[in-house]
Chain A
Amino acid sequence: KQEVTQIPAALSVPEGENLVLNCSFTDSAIYNLQWFRQDPGKGLTSLLLIQSSQREQTSGRLNASLDKSSGRSTLYIAASQPGDSATYLCARMGKIKAAGNKLTFGGGTRVLVKP
């Protein structure tokens, strides 16, 4: 069974500290891995996409790495701010078929950045 897991389920840090969010997946045959942010009761905002051929992607304070061999991706958020408080979800897009590939989500990590 293809599974995506995120540990820890919740994380609380003081403002200014760097955040490290982990995502692991059991099937390394992926097209890509996407990181999303979700505020309570809101939609999913795409943060970063890493293609299976890439090792990392960066956008501002965000950096995501991908290690297919170990089935892991890590999202780093530098110098965290209270506005970074949200749930962060990773999702893998499978390599099963050429089109219409679906995203399989992890359970998310709920982040609280304390001022």
Chain B
Amino acid sequence: AAGVIQSPRHLIKEKRETATLKCYPIPRHDTVYWYQQGPGQDPQFLISFYEKMQSDKGSIPDRFSAQQFSDYHSELNMSSLELGDSALYFCASSNQLGQPPGDTEAFFGQGTRLTVV
């Protein structure tokens, strides 16, 4: 079965550079989430999209932006990178429309490991 695809898997950037992370959700899933996981930390919610519209926003820095395109893939753009941005970035997708309440399961990609040097 198709899973959530993230690219690249690994990325090394210098401080103040820009990075773009891509996410391809499971086909026919209508919701995409982005999470950041620092070393030894639990995943922190950044932002989500439902049917290509931003649906919720968490602790996402102003230097970061994201969007979901017509083909449902999503991109997380990160500018003016800082050392503290080094983390695993996960994308997840789920299918919420038409599901019984509570029957929404989120599936995660393998993540992009971003290292800022």
Contacts and interface: CB of A to CB of B under 8 A. Distances in A.
A36 interface: yes
Contact of B102 (A44, A52, A100): A52
A99 B45 contact: no
Interface residues of A, number: 31
Given A31-B104, A32-B103, A93-B104, A102 B58 contact: yes
Nearest to B111: A43
A43 B44 CA distance: 14
Contacts of A98: 96
B110 interface: yes
B55 A97 contact: yes
A75 to B, nearest CB: 16
B107 A46 contact: yes
B71 interface: no
A104 B56 CA distance: 12
Contacts of A91: 106
A101 interface: yes
B108 interface: yes
A49 B102 CA distance: 9
B96 A102 contact: no
A78 interface: no
Nearest to B102: A51
Contacts of A52: 101-102
A31 B113 contact: no
Interface in A16-41: 30-32, 34, 36, 41
Nearest to A49: B105
Given A44-B43, A108-B42, 4 more contacts: A31-B104, A43-B109, A102-B58, A105-B43
Interface of B: 30-31, 33, 41-45, 48-51, 55-56, 58, 88, 90, 92, 96-97, 100-111, 113
